[in-house]
Structure 1
C-alpha cells in the first residue's frame, strides 16, 4: 500500500472525501491538529478506566449490541463504503460481514483468552500458587487503511475493545466517512464515555497520534510508512503492530483442482481492483499442468470487468497515484520479455484498470518483486513444487499465500514463509476469526484476530501467592548450607541426567 501526500488545496481546516468513481465530494471533514489529537487521547484515558471497569461480561454485551447495529444497518454501511472506495456493494457487504464475525468472536472469547489462568509452580516452588492474566494496555491508537475500511481497522479495534482498552481511530483520508459511521454507531451503544473516538486528517494527524502517548499503535499501510511510525514510536517506547502489505503467491501442484485454482487466482488477483494486501499477485504452477491452468485463467479473466455499473465485478482505483505504479509494473514486465495474455498497458485508464494476466515475466522484475496493488497477476511455470516454494519465498514480504494440491497441501503450506496460508481455497484464513492475521519481513509483525489478536492489546500480569511456608527457604539470607546442598542434589536428580 502506498501513502499519499494531501492535496495542498485541501490541507486547511477541512478536507473533502471524494468518490474515486466520479470525483464528486461525498463528505467534508476536519484536519485535526496535534492539540486536538492529544485532547482525544486524554479523554480516552478516563474512558478506558470506565470501560475496563465494566468487566468482560459488560464489554461483551456492549460489543454484541454494536454488532447488531452494524448488521441491521448493513445496507447503509455498504453504501458509505461504496461512496468512498467505489467498490461494488456486494464487496462492501463481504468485508463488513467478516468484520461483524470478528466483533462477535472477540466479544465471546475475551474472558476465556485473557482471564486469569493457573500455571504450574514447579517442584522447587510447590508452596506457591501461580496465575497469569492479561490486563488492558489503556489507550490504543489505530491507523486504518482505505482498501478495506471496515474489515481491516475493526480487526484491531474490536479486539482492543474486547481486551478492555479505549481506542482512538484515525481512518485513511480517503475513507473518513466509513470511520465516522462506525464510531457513531458505537457511540449509540456506549454513550457514557468516549471509548471509541474518531480523528481525521492526513499523515500529520497520524503522526500526532503516534506521538501522543498512547499505549500501543496498530497500523496498516506501506512498509515505508510503517518504518517511520516505528521510528517515531521508539521515542516514547510505544509498542506497535504493523501490517504492511505483501506480494502473495499462489502455488498450483499437478494434482490440483485446476478449475478451482484458476477461479481463486482470478478472484484473488482482481477482486477489489487488486487493492488487497493478501491478494494473489504471483502464481507458480507445475509445468505439467501449466498450459491448461493458464488457459482457464485467461478464459475467466476475459469475463471480468472494472466499472461503476451494476454488472462490473470491481470498481475504480481508490488512490489516484497508484495508477502510475500499476502502469510502470506492467511496462517493466513487457519490456523485459513478459507477455500480456489479457490486458496490458492499455488496461490502465484514468480511474479504472482492467485485468492484466502476465506470463514469462523475469523474477527480478517490478511486477514480481514489488507490491503492485492493482488488478494484475504474473504466472510462471516451475519444474516442481520445490522450485515453486523457493521462488514464492524469495521475497522481502511474507503476508498471505495459497496452495492448491490434493495430496501435499498441508506440507507445502508449512514450507511457505508467510504469516498465513490457505489450502485449496482463496484467502480463507482472513474470514476465520480464531486464526491470527499478520506477516513477517516487510509485511510487518504482530497479530490481529484470534487469541493472539486479543493478547496483542493486553499485557500479561503474573502473580505468585505463597500458600504455605516451604520446608526449604530459598529466598532468605538465613538460608542454611544444608539447604543449598539439598537443593543441589534435588536439581541433579531432576535435571542432571545425560
Structure 2
C-alpha cells in the first residue's frame, strides 16, 4: 500500500491538476506534482487513522526498528536526496548535506529516546493518597498534520515528523509548493522501510491543500512558516478545536560584548546572516556590538562579507532566493534603512539582482526601521553600536519576535543569555541549538509557541494519561457519602500537620 497520497486530482475537463517545482537557479522544471483536493486530503487522513492504530500497537521498540530502517534508507540514498534539495531550493550541495545529516541525527534521537520520555512510569501518590498507586504515560494523539517550509525543506518538517512518528502517531505532510519533491522523497523512502500501512503520507499543492489539512480532522497540526500564515492556520484549526504547534518567523539578534573573541563573533555573524542566502528563521538579522570594540568588529565583519558570493555553481557561498516574492521584501527593507539614515558598509540596493542577492551589511539603522522590526529573510544584516552589551539585550528584547539569539562574551555569556526573551540562545556560536536533538526548538511572541526536538518535542505529539489504582482501603475515606462526620476534620488536621509548617 503506497504511502504517498493519490495523484488523481482532476480539473474540470478531466485532466490531472498538476504543478511544477522549479530550480530557482535556472527556472528549469525539476518535476511535476499533483494538486491534491480537500477530498483527497480527507482520504489521506482517513487512511492514516487506520494505520495509526497498527503503528501505535508496535510499541516503542517496534517503531524504533522501523524508524532505524528508514534512517538506513535515507543514508543509502543521501546523494540523491542532496541533489533534490539543491535543485528545489538552489542551496549549495554542502548545505544540503548538512541538512540531511541533521535529519538523520534527529530521527535517531527521537526513536531512541521516545520510550524513556513517553513510556509508563510510577509517580508518587503523596501522603494523603498513600493507599493508591499512581502511574503516568504519554499516549499518541493519532494523526498529525504537518505543514512545512521551503527554506529547510527536510530538516525543519522532520523536527515534527520524526518526533510524531516516534511517539506513535501517523503523519500527513504537506510540503511547501516550492519543495514538493522533498516531501515526496521522504514519504517514498519511508514506504520502502515501512510498506505495511500508510503511516506517513504526503499531500502536495498550494494554500488550499494546506487549508484542507487544517480542517481534515487531524488530531494536531504542526506548522512552520510566516507569522501571518500561522495566524490563518490557527484560525482554521480553531473551528474544530484542533491543537496547533506554530513555529513562525524571527528577527534574531547577536550580542557582542567587550571581551568577545571578535574574529569568531564576526565569522558567526556572517554565517548566521548569509548562510542559506539568509533564509533561516533563526538566522542573525541584527547585531548589537559594544561601542568599545565596534570599530574592530565591523572591520572584520566587512572583510568577511566581501568574500561571500552568490551563485548556482558549486563554488558559490550562497544560493538564490528560493521564493521570488521575497526579493521585493529584501529590497524594501534595505531601501527603507538607507532612506532613514542607515549606511551600507557592504552592498546596497544594487546587490539585489534576482534570483540572487549579494550580502548586504548595514549600520546606524534606526530601531523603528523595517530592517530592525520585520523579518527580512535575505542575506542582509544590521550592525548597530550600543554603549554596552546590556543595552544590546534591551534592544534585542524590544522585538515582537522571540525565536533565538546569540551572545559572544568570554566572561558573562550565560548571564546575558538568561536576560534575552527568546526560546533559544547560543553562547560564543550561532544556531547550534538547532543541531542538538535533545534541546527543544521554538520561540515566544510572534515567533509562535510549542516545541519541536528533544523531550518537549516528543511530548508535543502525545497526551499525558494518568492512572491511579487503590491498593487497600484508607482509614479516612473522603470519597463516599458514608464517611463519618469527623472524617473531614481529621483529614484537614492531618494535612495541616504534614504541610502547614
State whether structure 2 residue 225 is matched by structure 1 residue 221. yes
Matches within 5 A, 1:423-462: 423-462=427-466
State whether structure 2 residue 114 is matched by structure 1 residue 110. yes
Map of 1:6 onto structure 2: none
1:74-117 CA-to-partner distances (Å, cap 9, x unmatched) read: 11101000110000000001111011100000000000000011
Map of 1:481 onto structure 2: 485
State whether structure 2 residue 122 is matched by structure 1 residue 123. no
Matches within 5 A, 1:379-458: 379-458=383-462
Matches within 5 A, 1:20-59: 20-59=24-63
Pick one of 352, 356, 375 that aligns with 1:371: 375
1:207-260 CA-to-partner distances (Å, cap 9, x unmatched) read: 000000100000000101101111110110000000001000000001111010
Task: Give the superposition deviation at 1:496.
Answer: 2.3
- Structure 2 residue matching 1:421: 3-state secondary structure: strand
TM-score by length of 1: 0.97
* Inter-partner Cα distance in structure 1 for 2:392 and 2:423: 18
- Structure 2 residue matching 1:174: 3-state secondary structure: coil
Map of 1:207 onto structure 2: 211
1:31-80 CA-to-partner distances (Å, cap 9, x unmatched) read: 01010000000000000000001110010011111111111211110100
Map of 2:300 onto structure 1: 296
Task: Give the superposition deviation at 1:493.
Answer: 1.3
Matches within 5 A, 1:263-342: 263-342=267-346
Contact 2:252 2:283 in 1 (8 A): yes
Matches within 5 A, 1:88-237: 88-237=92-241
Map of 2:91 onto structure 1: 87
| Bigger mean CA offset, 465-474 vs 186-195 | 465-474
- Structure 2 residue matching 1:289: 3-state secondary structure: helix
RMSD over aligned CA atoms reads: 0.9
Map of 1:7 onto structure 2: none
- Structure 1 residue matching 2:356: 3-state secondary structure: coil
* Inter-partner Cα distance in structure 2 for 1:103 and 1:266: 29
* Inter-partner Cα distance in structure 1 for 2:355 and 2:238: 38
- Structure 1 residue matching 2:292: 3-state secondary structure: coil
Task: Give the superposition deviation at 1:495.
Answer: 2.5
* Inter-partner Cα distance in structure 2 for 1:12 and 1:314: 36
Contact 2:36 2:209 in 1 (8 A): yes
Pick one of 463, 471, 495 that aligns with 1:467: 471
* Inter-partner Cα distance in structure 1 for 2:335 and 2:377: 15
Map of 2:11 onto structure 1: none
Map of 2:363 onto structure 1: 359
Task: Give the superposition deviation at 1:311.
Answer: 1.2
- Structure 1 residue matching 2:221: 3-state secondary structure: strand
Matches within 5 A, 1:63-78: 63-78=67-82
Task: Give the superposition deviation at 1:12.
Answer: 7.7
Structure 1: tracts of 5 or more residues without a match: 1-10
